[in-house]
A and B are shown apart, each in its own frame.
Chain A
């Protein structure tokens, strides 16, 4: 069973719409969750982190965590063409000192003008 599962998409939304990206994880004891953005040919960059149940907002981005359902999501409001990228969900497994970061396959998002 994979640590992290993502809908690989692709997901296509018009400019100004809300893009919704989803992720599930297998290890119930996981505590830390991250969303990375990866532009084509570039390395991933961290855009959101979340550790507690509920929502966390940062500008146009909102991360949502439901530990009971083992589900993490990312909402992008007022989507822009510059948001077009692959979004990677990641989960820490193994604790705060030796924990390793495991990634889903990513969801490719295209925002069209």
Chain B
């Protein structure tokens, strides 16, 4: 069966510090991968998605970037964090031809920028 892993679970970082969040998927190949952010009291916002190694699409301009160095690895990064980057970050995957099955989410990383 397929599983998705995210780490760390919680993170407290000072303003201006760098960020790296990692997500890996097991049990499938060539998944579509997604990063979402859920700010306090707000809905899930799609940040980035990837349909293959090195292929990254951004939904909104922001202080963050994403990379996909391996087929089942998706990384969210920032060079300098802002207070507004605080939130609950969720990685998700789906099979490339399995849109009818929806997305499966990782357990998330709660980021607090102080």
Q: A: which residues have CB within 8 A of B?
A: 32, 34, 36, 41-46, 49, 51, 88, 90, 92, 96-106
Contact = CB atoms under 8 A, between A and B. Distances in A.
Q: Is the interface of B mostly helix, strand, loop or mixed?
A: mixed
Interface residues of B, number: 24
Interface of B: 34, 36, 42-44, 46, 49, 51, 59, 90, 92, 96-97, 99-108, 110
Contacts of A90: 102
B105 A44 contact: yes
A72 B52 CA distance: 32
17 contacts: A41-B110, A42-B108, A43-B90, A43-B106, A43-B107, A44-B105, A49-B102, A51-B100, A90-B102, A92-B99, A96-B97, A99-B99, A100-B59, A101-B92, A101-B103, A103-B43, A105-B43
Contacts, number: 53
A43 B97 contact: no
A97 B96 contact: yes
Given A42-B108, A49-B102, A103-B43, 6 more contacts: A32-B102, A36-B102, A44-B105, A96-B97, A99-B99, A101-B103
